[in-house]
Structure 1
Amino acid sequence: MSTPAEYYRSLPPVSKVYGVACLMTTAAYYLQLYNPWNIALDYGLVFKRLQIWRLFTNFFFLGPFSFPFAIRLIMIARYGVSLERGPFDKRTADYVWMFVFGALSLLVIALVPFFRSPFLGVSLVFMIIYIWSREFPNARINIYGLVSLKGFYLPWAMLVLDLIFGNPIMPDIIGMLAGHLYYFLTVLHPLAGGKYIFKTPFFIYKLVAYWGEGAQMNSPVQSDPSAGIAFRGRSHRLGGNTQTRSTSTESNASSTQHPQNHQSNNNSTVFRGRSYRLNG
């Protein structure tokens, strides 16, 4: 894009809204407009004083302006946008439902004292990275221009980098847990022959349509054919090819043994109506 304004307008809606919300939250903190602990997740204050906003606001704080904050914001701009333009293209409601499910999963995981964290925004970003790595496992990526690897290993590489830089890794781990849970329910389980029951609620379609994005068809995540999906081969071997081969073999054999019958049946099917009209 030639200008930042054109780049901003070209961004898909969900990733743009979330990225801008995270940027504005950190900018307001930099200007000392609020105390970050007033928006942090604290279940004691949520249940005792009914400070419900903490269940939402904690997802928009990625930390103060710093190098890790810039990396998280770039992850949203690159991998979140790639998901929204790729597997979730024309499925904005399903992409919103992915965010909602991820947030709910993280809130449930944060109930465990070992996984408790006051801010879950980094975990939500890591969930996006994990889902992207499963949707584009063969994509080639460069990390800081030094290491080249496949997209499948991106979450683990970022986890190692956070460990080296001294950043907390627990938010990364619970983000990967939420991402794997979503990917299992929407992709791996249906591909393995299970019933797809993880449907986007109707009110999310209504909400997306209200904001002018249209109501998209509710379907499992469709991956980029050029990138491939990990474990796709295993799921498609469950008897489908054998049945197809046997059916095609029987049809070929029957056509070889009775070529005249096939020809006569085709002729009668195609010309029967007209021949009777002519003779009649």
Structure 2
Amino acid sequence: MPGNDLSDMFNSIPPVTRYWFSGTILFSLLGKFNIIDPMRMILLWNRIYSHFEIWRPITALLFYPVSPSTGFHFLINLYFLYSYSSRLENGMFLGRTADYVFMFLFTWLALVVLLEPMVLTVLYIWSQLNRDVIVQFWFGMQFKAMYFPWVLVIFNLIVRGSAMMELVGIIVGHLYYFFVFQYPQERNHSSGPVVIPIALRLLPFHVYFILLLVNILLQILASYYLFLSA
């Protein structure tokens, strides 16, 4: 049955990507139809400090302002999110959910919670781990995966007149890739993510999600305390 096929397809998405993908669709549509005011989901630090709106770092990660002018770009980002996050989680991070959550936390902290750079960060990491894989872009263009992020930079420069978000995502992705993969290899260590505590590896996935929320809350509380102390 079609319903079962959709359910099977959804459940086949690896866990971190599944939460990220479905959350992005949900919050973007809630904002699109004004079920939730989009202004209450974007990242405004002064509202976090002065009104204690601690949900903003979470919703800003998942919300994309969908409009007639941004709808196509939203679909492209949604495709990249689903495709390359799934490939990364089912590839290098297969059976290592804790390591993937660590990568997610690292990039989230570095990017200060922006959906678009997060997608480019994941795509960049995948492209560096699969440098010689041939990818296909528009109009049948084919090239090695290592060039894909830069093709997107040029594409967005042409289409939107700016590629700052893409460049930020690439920089953060390269920081993670360098410290976690490239540097250990150059030091003759085995490649792989930074060592994650064994206790974290043994936790079920929903606990990772709770830890992510706790991590966000603690950061906001610390920032709020510093704001009051200033």
TM-score w.r.t. length of structure 2: 0.79
Show the counterpart of 1:238.
none
Match of 1:233 in 2: none
Please say if 1:175 is aligned against 2:180. no
Partner of 1:151: 145
Partners of 2:193 and 2:90 lie apart in 1 by 24
Aligned to 1:41: 43
Distance 1:202 1:179 in 2: 25
Query: Is residue 2:184 matched to residue 1:190?
Result: yes
| Shift in Å, 1:86 | 0.4
Partner of 1:205: 201
How much does 1:192 deviate?
A: 1.3
1:171 positional shift:
1.4
Specify the alignment match of 1:96 in structure 2.
101
Following superposition of structure 1 onto structure 2, how do residues 120-269 of structure 1 map, counting pairs within 5 Å?
120-166=114-160, 168-193=162-187, 198-201=194-197, 204-205=200-201, 208-209=203-204, 211=206
Offset at residue 11 of structure 1 (A): 1.2
Q: Give the deviation of 1:212 after TM superposition.
A: 8.7
CA displacement at 1:52 relative to structure 2 = 2.2
- CA positional deviation for 1:167: 5.8
| Residue 166 of structure 1, CA deviation | 1.0
Matches of 2:197 and 2:169 in 1, distance apart?
Answer: 23
Does the Cα contact within 8 Å between 1:62 and 1:72 map onto a contact in 2? Answer: no
Amino acid paired to 1:50:
F
Structure 1 segments of 4 or more deviating over 6 A? 194-197
Partner of 1:225: none
CA gap of 1:197–1:175, structure 2 versus 1, over 3 A, is closer
2:181 counterpart letter in structure 1: V
Query: Contact 2:21/2:81 (CA < 8 Å) preserved in 1?
Result: yes
RMSD of equivalent CA atoms: 2.4
CA distance in 1, matches of 2:194, 2:205: 23
Q: Is the 8 A contact 2:27 2:59 kept in 1?
A: no
Gap regions ≥5 residues in structure 2: 209-230
Distance 1:178 1:6 in 2: 33
In the TM superposition, what are the counterparts of 1:6-45 in structure 2 within 5 Å? 6-45=8-47
Give the drift of 1:202: 5.9
Distance 1:201 1:40, change over 3 A: farther
Partners of 1:68 and 1:36 in 2: how far apart?
18
Contact 2:110 2:172 survives alignment (8 Å): yes
Q: Closer, same or farther in 2 for the Cα pair 1:62/1:204, shift >3 Å?
A: farther
- Which structure has more helix as a fraction of its residues? 2
Q: Which of the numbers 86, 92, 99 marks the counterpart of 1:81?
A: 86
1:163-187 deviation digits (Å, cap 9, x = unpaired): 1111642211111111111111101
Residue identity matched to 2:114: L
Cα deviation, 1:105-124, whole Å, max 9, x if unaligned, reads 112xxxxxxxxxxx710010
Q: Give, as a single letter, the amino acid of the residue that structure 2 aligns with 1:123.
A: P
CA distance in 1, matches of 2:54, 2:176: 25
Per the TM alignment, residue 7 of structure 1 is displaced from its structure 2 partner at its CA by: 1.8
Contact 2:97 2:205 in 1 (8 A): no
CA separation of 1:210 and 1:124: change in aligned 2, threshold 3 A: closer
Query: Shift of the alpha carbon at 1:210?
Result: 5.7
| Higher Rg of the two aligned structures | 1
Decide whether aligned partners of structure 1 residues 203 and 43 sit closer, same or farther in structure 2, where only a CA change above 3 A counts: farther
Letter in 2 for 1:36: P
1:18 aligned partner, one-letter code: W
Q: Write out per-residue CA displacement over residues 67-110 of structure 1, whole angstroms, 9 at most, x where no aligned residue.
A: 11111111112111000110000001111111111000112xxx
